[in-house]
Amino acid sequence: MAGLTPAAQDRLFFLGIGLSACAVIGLMRRMLIQYQQSAIVEQSESKPQYITQDVEDSLKLSTLDKLLDSPNYSIQETTAIIICERALHDGSTVDALLFTITRPAHATREQGIRALTMMMNSSTVTMISKPKTYAALVKCLEYSITDYKHNDYDSDWDNWQLRDVVEQGCLLVLAQLVNKFGVEGIIKARFVERWLVKEPWGGADDDERQLNFMDSLTKHFRLNELCLPLFRDDAGKKALEDAKLLPAGKIIYHESEVDVKMTNGEGTAGEDFEEIFADSSRRRRDQTSEEEHLRRRHREAMVLNDGYTQRILWEDSEARIGMRRRGPTKKIPRFSSQGSSPMGNTNTSASHVMESIANEEGNSSVAVSYREGDSTTPVVDKISVGNRNIFAIGEKLVPNLEQHHSDGTSRSIGGQREEDDLMLFASVIMLMVQDKVSGEPCRNLRLHLKFAQHFERSPGLRQVTVHYRFLRNILLYNDLLAAISSGNQTLRDYGQSTSVITVNSDSPPSGDSLTMVAFTRNTYYFPILLSRIANRDKMVSIADIEVWDGNMFWLPSFSSAEIAGAASTTDLQRSSVSVGNEFENLLISEIYRNAARVLYYQRLHHEPEESEPGSSGPEDEPSYTSHIRHFTSILLANLRSLPLGSAYESSLLLPIGIIATEIRDISDRADVLSRLQLLENRFQLNQFRRFREKISAYWEASEKQNLKQEFTCDAILLG
């Protein structure tokens, strides 16, 4: 065997050296790891040490004083807890602290309140709940009023962090006491009169101060930990009213008094709450204006079926449906009050009703379709005004009327089917409401309203059923809207059996004061007042608006109350939709009160020859404009404070419609339009869209000095 060459020997040598080096490195690493692990010293787990109550009690004050200076924060914290617990169980120590916080010196009070706040928490606050504690804290707050200059109220930010530490400490302790024991203690200590009323709430007068305070209640401010419990308590609310932080004399019904029993999401008054508060994100029906008009007419045809004779026949369906043989359509010529109609002396008959409507609408004629028979006493099936078919009635039109024959005799056409009268009246009211919520043109709404008004005026129409009273309340409300928008007289006042009591600032009302109070607390006091303002009653004064108690149950949206006789709040049976909290109740009442004030001064401004009772005459007219602007600004501020999603949002169109012509500021207009857009998204009703379009068009025209827009009718009638 030949020997290895020198090159091969070199390779073998280097291979051996490499293997030896790898073995040495691996061995050294293993030895180092073992050495490291053997060098680790494991720490023994320390056993927890507890300080027993006996050990705490044995500690002397000198020892505790030294422990407070310990560099260990845990020892400092434990020592502080021991000292606080000892102080809480020592009555003399607590009394000394309370005495300290009532000293005039700021440094002394600061030391005392810091010690007191350190001792207090939700479990230990019980130990200091006594009258002297409330008195001492309120006394300390009184000194804080002059300790530094307080910042004025600002609705955009909470000034809590800018308060002095002493004031913060007192309010924190009071908040813990109120949260656990209620507001009785701070009411007895006169917290409202001695400190809260002295806060700089801003405003040039009491109205603005009250507005700012009510606005603060809607914010998430720290001070509301005390203010909101006061507002919810009867005695606390009375103290706030006495301090003029809230408007006085308002009756706010508790939620327990107006709650409605629910049955499958529907109230006992028929309100579908699940539908009212449904998600506003549902898809809107996409329809053209022609499709909406056709759909509305189909609904009218179904609604106006009297249930006994035959259904409505419009032009597009009259050829298809021949359930009855009809005679020719005759034109009724125009006639004056001295003339006579082809139907004889029927001043309150349907032909006269529709003739009057035609005169007011500017149409050329009224057409009546009737069956063949006695031409002097036709049985009317359908009435048309111009090119528009109104309704078909069947056997009779208006209850308790008489048709006069040519020979002077007459026969009654009512009293045989009284349910038809109610059905006719209900059909017209339903059409009127349907036109309103669907945003139909104002002319359609006026047409139904005018016929309902004539129907209501008919002699012998004295129905006393609950259903008729419900429909009549809707008619009276919409008649009131029409009077406010157009300046015409109302059909009649709400609550005719109630005597009118006027409250003048110059001459107090005579008679029994209890009668006046009962009247001002009548549910229908406010609509009666609006009706008198709309009718330009010279006996109405601004004081009549001020004495209103804020009762909102007269609105059709919130009430189906029935008045069986004299209007008395004790006889009312309220059935209301779910309302908001007491603050929302108060806020919506103030919105309507300010709207009434604006309407009152608008009437005086447009008729300068009629001066306000107590004024000097027409020379006071310039002051009306300032009053209008003042109350308009307050109403807009109230509107901003009303929470989104409030149960009262559906009732905002009437006050907005009253003040819309007075809004000048661009930002105010933007706020109103934004709120209306939110209402449209929430309720998915076209009336909010049409209302928004009308006031936008009016404002655009006012900028161009072209005020020929039909604003008031379309806007306020949609309320």
Of residues 134 and 431, more confidence is placed in: 134
Which residues contact residue 694 at a Cβ distance below 8 angstroms, ignoring those fewer than 6 apart? 709, 710, 711, 714, 715
User: Which stretch of 355-369, 418-432, 658-672 has the lowest confidence by average pLDDT?
Assistant: 355-369
What's the average model confidence in pLDDT over 438-456? 73
Give this prediction's pTM.
Answer: 0.49
CA distance 28 to 714: 99
Coil vs helix vs strand at 380: strand
What's the average model confidence in pLDDT over 196-202? 90
pLDDT attached to residue 236: 92
Per domain, the residue ranges of the chain are 90-248, 304-405+412-463, 476-717
pLDDT digits (tens, 9 = 90+) for 276-296: 334 433 444 445 666 666 666
List the Cα angle 156/157/159 in 5-degree steps: 145
pLDDT attached to residue 145: 92
What count of Cα atoms within 13 Å lies in the side-chain half-sphere of residue 408? 0
Question: Phi and psi for 622 in degrees, rounded to 5?
Answer: -60, -30
Inform me whether the pLDDT recorded for 158 exceeds 70. yes
Only one residue has tokens 């059935």, namely 575
Coil vs helix vs strand at 27: helix
CA distance 615 to 442: 38
Which residues contact residue 271 at a Cβ distance below 8 angstroms, ignoring those fewer than 6 apart? 260, 577
Structural contact between residues 536 and 610, judged by C-beta atoms closer than 8 angstroms: yes
pLDDT attached to residue 492: 54
Inform me whether the pLDDT recorded for 193 exceeds 90. yes
pLDDT attached to residue 661: 84
Inform me whether the pLDDT recorded for 175 exceeds 90. yes
Inform me whether the pLDDT recorded for 267 exceeds 70. no
What's the average model confidence in pLDDT over 69-81? 85
Of residues 255 and 657, more confidence is placed in: 657
Inform me whether the pLDDT recorded for 343 exceeds 70. no
Of residues 529 and 327, more confidence is placed in: 529
pLDDT attached to residue 576: 37
Tokens coding 205: 């007068």
Q: What is the mean pLDDT of the chain?
A: 69
pLDDT digits (tens, 9 = 90+) for 592-604: 898 889 888 888 8
pLDDT digits (tens, 9 = 90+) for 474-490: 787 877 777 777 666 66
Of the chain, the end-to-end C-alpha distance in Å amounts to 122
Structural contact between residues 150 and 199, judged by C-beta atoms closer than 8 angstroms: yes
What's the average model confidence in pLDDT over 224-239? 91
CA distance 184 to 233: 9
Hey, which residues does 384 pair with through a beta bridge?
367, 389
User: Which stretch of 71-80, 463-472, 593-602, 706-715 has the lowest confidence by average pLDDT?
Assistant: 706-715
